[in-house]
Amino acid sequence: MMIPKLQIALDNLTFTDAINALKGVAQEVDIIEVGTILLCAEGIRAVEYIKNMYPDKIVLADAKIADAGKIITPMMFDAGADWTTIICCADIPTVASALEIAKQRGRDIQIELTGHWTKELAQEWQKIGVRQVVYHRSRDSQAAGVNWGLADLEKVGQLCKMGFQVTVTGGVNVEDIQFFKELPIYVFIAGRAIRDASSPVSAARAFKNEFEKYW
């Protein structure tokens, strides 16, 4: 199996906080995510600034596009995003139009599995050629005390078997990594686990050590 990639999620409330969170640690990660919170706060310029600051990194704009895929998808790519996300309940024509734009431009989209989705929808994504999905334990569910469990593992495993490149996110800590060791996880996202660490660089390296140990 390939070694998973490490993605830092910038879910800051201001761009200033985001660049401070990135300082030093950016070179330790493979993917920099402009989180939905930061995108809501600062708008598309957050994507533009990050890509200009780190042109050699994969920049992901977590736009969670639900509609108007033909407008919002190119907006993200024009600003420099390599990948952007579509929310799982989006109509299939919305997903298809975003995917087509991505392919034309050598970029990619990810289906963001926040909240309710079904196996039937996953089959439709597969059919139209979606490659990436993001398995997401919701922030509010985490706050409600719901932890990573066998149900998560089973769902992630099914998505991998369907051939999707799966990103795992939602309060992932270093100790959670080995839980997924049997699966070909494509990306792990760490947000607060890196940003709030006393040494973000050490925290990022601890994730990468676990990846190398188990994959």
Comparing CA positions, the residue from 210, 189, 192 lying closest to residue 200 is 192
CB within 8 A of 7, min separation 6: which ones?
A: 29, 30, 31, 32, 33, 60, 167, 169, 187, 188, 189, 190
Least distance to its own copies, CB of residue 7, Å: 16
Residues 113-142 that bind its own copies (CB under 8 A): 114-118, 121, 136, 138-141
- Interacting span for its own copies (CB under 8 A) from 16-24, 25-33, 35-43, 147-155: 35-43
13 touching its own copies, by CB under 8 A: yes
73 touching its own copies, by CB under 8 A: no
Choice between 69 and 210, CB closer to its own copies? 69
Choice between 4 and 69, CB closer to its own copies? 69
Least distance to its own copies, CB of residue 69, Å: 6
- Interacting span for its own copies (CB under 8 A) from 16-24, 50-58, 108-116, 206-214: 108-116
46 touching its own copies, by CB under 8 A: yes
Query: What distance in Å separates the CA atoms of residue 100 and residue 97, rounded to the nearest whole number?
Result: 5
Q: Which residue in 16, 45, 129, 154 binds its own copies (CB under 8 A)?
A: 45
Over the window 147 to 186, marking each residue x when it contacts its own copies by CB under 8 A and - when it does not, the resulting string is ----------------------------------------
19 touching its own copies, by CB under 8 A: no
Cα dihedral: 189, 30, 5, 11 (round 10): 10
- Interacting span for its own copies (CB under 8 A) from 22-30, 39-47, 149-157, 172-180: 39-47
Q: Which residue in 44, 109, 122, 206 binds its own copies (CB under 8 A)?
A: 44
Question: At 170, which amino acid appears?
Answer: G
Query: Footprint of its own copies on this chain (CB under 8 A)?
Result: 11, 13, 36-37, 39-46, 63-64, 66-72, 75-76, 87-91, 93-94, 97, 112, 114-118, 121, 136, 138-141, 143-144
